[in-house]
With several copies, the nearest count.
Chain A
Amino acid sequence: MDVLYFAWVRERIGLPRERIETTAATVRELVAELVAREERYAVAFSDLAALRVAVDQELRDFDAPLAGVREVAFFPPMTGG
């Protein structure tokens, strides 16, 4: 699965995307896996309320299932316009 990071999430984790092999069933489980890995993930995901997630390029919540998913992206609330 491709995992993408944008804005300050990208900066905290230190890379814009990575390939992750996971058996996580939901976005929340994937986050728990990442947080357990390294401090920089723990810092980036310390406040999920301050984050948004897109699953296959559609906005979803953290309970979204990951079965069959190709791409998950994490980022702060958008500030376009």
Chain B
Amino acid sequence: MRISVQEAAFDAGAELTAFSTGLTSQGAVVTFTGIVRNSPEGDLQAMEIEHYPGMTEASLREMAQKAMARFALGDVLVIHRYGRLAPDEVIMMVATAAPHRKAAFEAADFLMDYLKSRAPFWKREITDGGATWVASKDADEDALKRW
């Protein structure tokens, strides 16, 4: 299990290669990569991500441990950046390994649902018009009821 909260950019492909190396008896690996999307107007200058040092890594670790146990995973990876990101930069990534497909998919979905509503990150979009905090969606909170 690897958890990383970092400012530096990372290569999701290189992370997948590293994650896959040394897995045994795992038939399925799922990754999710989150990327900074431009605004509908195409004027996004940057996405700024604030977090709560101390709490962030602990909460991600707790989510990852829950996912490991609940879905009987072989391994799990969570990387999440903070700081100032440009459009099309990678924000975060999760990877899950399990003996079978269903568990690997569900665990990645579970991690994303928890990460969206329970990990202490806040996004702010900087456009030509100014800075706007991204609002949480009721749907994100509702998504947790699935689990």
Q: Note whether A and B form a binding pair.
A: yes
Question: Chain A interface (Cβ within 8 Å of chain B)?
Answer: 4, 6-8, 10, 54, 57-59, 73, 75-81
Residues in chain B near residue A78, CB distance under 8 A = 116-122, 136
* A6–B59 CA distance with the chains assembled, in angstroms: 16
Question: Chain B interface (Cβ within 8 Å of chain A)?
Answer: 34, 49-52, 54-55, 58-59, 80, 91-92, 101, 112, 115-124, 133-136, 140-141
Q: How close is A4's CB to chain B, nearest CB, in angstroms?
A: 7
- Since A59-B118, A78-B122, A80-B122 are in contact, a sample of 18 more A-B pairs with Cβ atoms closer than 8 Å, ordered by chain A residue number, is A6-B52, A6-B122, A7-B124, A7-B133, A8-B133, A54-B120, A57-B59, A73-B120, A75-B122, A76-B122, A76-B133, A77-B136, A78-B119, A79-B123, A79-B134, A80-B49, A81-B101, A81-B116
Q: What is the number of contacts between chain A and chain B, taking CB atoms within 8 Å? A: 70
Q: What would 10 A/B residue contacts be, using CB atoms closer than 8 Å?
A: A7-B133, A10-B50, A54-B52, A57-B59, A58-B55, A77-B141, A78-B117, A79-B135, A80-B119, A81-B112
